[in-house]
Structure 1
Amino acid sequence: MSAADDVREAIAVGCTRDDHDHVADHREEVRAERDAEIITWLIKKAREYRSTGSRQHELQAEAIERMASKIQRGAVR
């Protein structure tokens, strides 16, 4: 079960104020899972652009890879 599923379950059973810390703990896990999915998708798109051989697509692939790197390092707010 993912952290997002845990949060959904807590909401479904009606979490109380005491449970808010539990939900806050899972929030970071959910964000990490989301970021990992985004990074994976960006890298996939960069590979697709790079495979065309076009100079314009090469530049776009580099920009996509920079964005993935920034997300991975936590440099994006």
Structure 2
Amino acid sequence: MTDHGAARPTSHHHHEHEHDHDPVNPGVDAAQCPVMAGRFVAKAKAEAKGWVRQYAGATYWLCCAGCVPKFDADPANYAVA
């Protein structure tokens, strides 16, 4: 039985969350993930998975489920000026 409520260390190199980093060509249908700078995500894919956040009047598309809690915990750190 797995304990899904257990806290996991955030400094590890191996991620145990869903990664969905298919190659995406930057363009009108893609956005750069503010957490994983340099990674692009298809906007439609991020929207379908709920990986979109609004902060300070801007929209941010996140590239994977692991970036969502990081952005949510400190959006000002990841927001583009």
TM-score scaled by structure 2?
0.23
Higher helix content, 1 or 2: 1
Question: Larger radius of gyration, structure 1 or 2?
Answer: 1
TM-score scaled by structure 1?
0.23
